Structure 1
Amino acid sequence: MKVINRFLTNQNAQLTSLVILAVLASAQSYFGSQNTIAESTELYTKYNNYLIFKLSFFHLIEDKDLYILYLNEQWDLFKYSPTFALLFGLFAWLPDFVGLTLWNLLNGLVFFLGLYYLPKIDIRTKGLIFVFVVLELVGSVQNEQSNALMAGLLLFTFGFLERDKYWLAALCIVASIFIKLFGVVALALYFLYPNKWKLTYTTAVWVVVFTLLPLLVVGADQLLFLYKSWGNLLANDHDASHGMSVIGWLKTWFGWEPDKVVVAVVGAILFCLPLLKIKSYSKYPFRVLMLASVLLWVIIFNHRAESPTFIIAVSGVALWYFIQVPKTENLILLLLTLMFSILSPTDIVPAFVRTEWFEPYVVKAVPCILVWVKIIYDLLTGTFEPRISTEQIQD
């Protein structure tokens, strides 16, 4: 027990373990054997997602359409903004193993530092959150995706807002939007803070900067074409999938397939209901739970949610649970998240159970949906008891 407690309060030990895991995950991907994907006869590397990001930069500077298939180079489409493709040039010029490792380290470190930048939460609680999410974090890194980076940017956004560093908060939130559009949901956090005019114009400035940044390497006509092509891709992508989401859960469990827009609107209304409690804005635990709600909402109402994206949702679960005094019902939901959201995609669960039951029935999403409902209940009723001391929660 003493060893565990020392680890939970030792930020350097946690950081070292994260770096080692990220490097090992990169090596596993880089040195893994090539294989076919789906019905394709082409051989693709195990770090195909990284190659999609890398090649998007070269497609950008070569004035190519970023949003069409290049099956002779990579599997699947590039779905991020032209600005993301430009910024990925920081890695694209490097040898693959170096670039891949640095990309994975960036994801892991931004998440870790964002977690530890959260104010008014003690070191041990942050250690508990890190330990709870670390398997999910490694899973995201193994897929070379940007989800840990997204989670970290949202955590930093909250940390900067709490410290009245609005320029940096707006930078993080706009950066998240230009990676994955669902980052726009985090703009709801702005309601919780004063000086909304400053939040508005700082965000607007960063949006203009990020929108026009690709003009450094492409012409205005080409950039306009790319944004139109990106919009068409996202519009078609919206119709193509249900993902590990509320929609996927309703369809696979109950055979009910309501309109996606209707579900999103209902989810948005429920999400916004706690914002009517304006007097609660001054309470730090309320603001933290709103952050947890954001982290969960952007995944469970995302029609393209897949297993590696759940580092974002699971972070919301951990934040919700560990900042409160333990309760039986909360502990049950936490254990369900551990069993079915974190451990279900791993080899702990037999392969036939994963492929025949857990994946088709989007089991991974269900505990996160239940936790989000509980968060909305906690926010509306104000019955949650913060684990944080009275001194820590004072503004």
Structure 2
Amino acid sequence: MLTRKVSDFLSRPKIILGVYLLVSVIIALQHYARGPLKYNNFQIFRAALGHLAAHQNLHLQYPNEYFDLFLYHPSFCIIFAPFSLLPLPVSLVLWLACCSLAMFYAIRSLPLRHTDKAFFWWFILFELVTSLHGQQTNPLIVAGGLLTFTLLENGDTRWAALFPLLAFCIKGYGLVYAGMFLFYPQKREYISYSVLWAVVLALLPLPVTGLDHFVQVYKDWYGILVADHAVNYGFSILGLIKVWWPSFSQSGVAKVQLAGVVLFGITWLLCLFRNQYRTLRQRLLLLAYASLWVILFNHAAESPTYVIAIPGVVLFHIVNRKQLAPWSKTLIVLVFVFCILAPTDIYPPALRHNFFEPYLIKVIPCVLVWVVLQIQLLLHQHENQN
């Protein structure tokens, strides 16, 4: 009886929402109190609007303001503008709270049972915390993907077309969620609205840059994307190959990523031509596949970006916990223990720094889930009922 009451209490959306907000505020205040080095990523986002207005190259080093580089779309400066203009401590708290709220409400919007949503909220919480500690944009990207799915399910094509493009304006790979439109009617309407939203979002910097500097801003952005690709392997399949095969060179990165793109295309086209998207379960698996794939083949993937991959794991588990019970239960435990908890203080620092990080242990459980899901989709092995 007591166990059930505790379970019911912890399943209440208001309680979970309160935890999400409390965690966000605590992390924000903790990092602000420790000084600028602890919220460096936020400083990068915050300074971008001023650089844009001053007609400076957004993607150069500005060591007097922060370390590292601004790698985001020029329109992100405008989207982030409210946080650039508010006082620093207020904007930092609100930024992390917005990231958590986006994740919470995106999960809430999904066409899942309440018990599944509650599991989703709690299971991803530690991964969300990892992302919040880096003030990362990743929760917004995955929230955009989940909302895209919900809006497509509800037939709201106009707004469904917007969210993948908003995600793209944060990080380019967020656009992958736009591919879900293939499995829904009103494809022409989706494409038309996508073009409209793309133009609107691309022009966002124009009032700040003016015509003279507008084109240069996009040239600078393209240049940093090319340079970024040349130096990374990431917390990804590419990184694992580098760990296991040290001679793996940058020339091989493009080949592996191309193979990943081809495999992604083949998988989705097979599902499309075989009508392997008619049920909600099938569409949830396609969403799960996109969420995992976009991180596992991403040369820029980091530990905090796994807040994008973990929803794929959760959806895989929710769909398959009956059909593939032993596989699903084993994999979900492996992901929690060796992926979600990998960067936390659950493990001693020596173990984290000498084993988990250099050997990319965090990546391996998600790769296993992706492999099982890949086989499942190619062999058409899942239930054909809603």
- From 253, 256, 273, the equivalent of 1:260 is 253
Cα distance between partner residues in 2 of 1:277 and 1:4: 41
CA offsets per residue over residues 236-268 of structure 1, 9 Å max, x none?
A: 110101110111001102436261121112112
- From 38, 49, 52, the equivalent of 2:41 is 49
Cα distance between partner residues in 2 of 1:61 and 1:166: 34
Cα distance between partner residues in 2 of 1:257 and 1:155: 35
Q: Is the 8 A contact 1:325 1:385 kept in 2?
A: no
CA shift, 1:367, in A, is 0.8
- The sequence identity of aligned pairs, in percent, is 35
| Greater Cα shift, 46-55 or 253-262 | 253-262
CA shift, 1:385, in A, is 4.5
CA shift, 1:269, in A, is 2.2
- Secondary structure of residue in 2 paired with 1:302: coil
- Matched with 1:277 is 271
CA shift, 1:376, in A, is 1.4
Cα distance between partner residues in 2 of 1:348 and 1:21: 18
- From 268, 281, 285, the equivalent of 1:289 is 285
Q: Is the 8 A contact 1:8 1:124 kept in 2?
A: no
**Alignment of structure 1 residues 28-107 onto 2, 5 Å:** 28-32=30-34, 34=35, 44-107=36-99
Cα distance between partner residues in 1 of 2:213 and 2:345: 46
State the AA in 1 paired with 2:201. Answer: F
Cα distance between partner residues in 1 of 2:245 and 2:4: 47
- From 371, 374, 379, the equivalent of 1:373 is 371
CA offsets per residue over residues 14-46 of structure 1, 9 Å max, x none?
A: 1011111111011111111x4xxxxxxxxx431
- Matched with 1:41 is none
CA offsets per residue over residues 331-386 of structure 1, 9 Å max, x none?
A: 11111111111111111111111111111111111111111111112222333358
State the AA in 1 paired with 2:168. Answer: I
- Secondary structure of residue in 1 paired with 2:55: coil
- Secondary structure of residue in 2 paired with 1:317: helix
Cα distance between partner residues in 1 of 2:5 and 2:205: 49
State the AA in 2 paired with 1:230. Answer: W
- From 329, 332, 338, the equivalent of 1:331 is 329
Cα distance between partner residues in 2 of 1:216 and 1:341: 43
- Secondary structure of residue in 2 paired with 1:124: helix
**Alignment of structure 1 residues 298-313 onto 2, 5 Å:** 298-313=294-309
- Matched with 2:11 is 9
- Asked if 1:384 corresponds to 2:382, the answer is yes
Cα distance between partner residues in 2 of 1:163 and 1:320: 21
State the AA in 2 paired with 1:284. Answer: L
- Matched with 1:361 is 359
Cα distance between partner residues in 2 of 1:203 and 1:14: 34
- Matched with 1:160 is 151
**How high is the TM-score relative to the length of structure 2?**
0.94
State the AA in 2 paired with 1:380. Answer: L
State the AA in 1 paired with 2:342. Answer: S
CA shift, 1:318, in A, is 1.0
- Secondary structure of residue in 1 paired with 2:313: helix
State the AA in 1 paired with 2:110. Answer: L
Q: Which runs of 4+ in 1 moved over 3 A?
A: none
CA offsets per residue over residues 264-301 of structure 1, 9 Å max, x none?
A: 12112222333213312211111111111111111111
- Matched with 1:178 is 169
Cα distance between partner residues in 2 of 1:136 and 1:223: 37
- From 192, 202, 215, the equivalent of 1:211 is 202
- From 114, 131, 135, the equivalent of 2:126 is 135
Cα distance between partner residues in 2 of 1:277 and 1:149: 28
For structure 2, the 5+ residue unaligned runs are: none
- Matched with 1:25 is 27
Q: Is the 8 A contact 2:320 2:328 kept in 1?
A: no
CA offsets per residue over residues 136-164 of structure 1, 9 Å max, x none?
A: 01111111110011111110000001111
| Greater Cα shift, 143-152 or 275-284 | 275-284
Q: Is the 8 A contact 1:23 1:105 kept in 2?
A: yes
Cα distance between partner residues in 2 of 1:123 and 1:109: 18
CA shift, 1:54, in A, is 0.4
State the AA in 2 paired with 1:302. Answer: N
State the AA in 2 paired with 1:364. Answer: K
Cα distance between partner residues in 2 of 1:70 and 1:149: 25
Q: Against the structure 1 CA distance between its residues 117 and 357, is the aligned structure 2 distance closer, same or farther, given a 3 Å change threshold?
A: same
Q: Is the 8 A contact 2:291 2:311 kept in 1?
A: yes
Q: Is the 8 A contact 1:170 1:203 kept in 2?
A: yes
Give the length in aligned residue pairs.
377
State the AA in 1 paired with 2:306. Answer: F
- From 291, 299, 321, the equivalent of 2:317 is 321
- Asked if 1:226 corresponds to 2:217, the answer is yes
**How high is the TM-score relative to the length of structure 1?**
0.92
CA offsets per residue over residues 210-253 of structure 1, 9 Å max, x none?
A: 10111121112312111111111110110101110111001102
- Asked if 1:108 corresponds to 2:129, the answer is no
Cα distance between partner residues in 2 of 1:340 and 1:99: 33
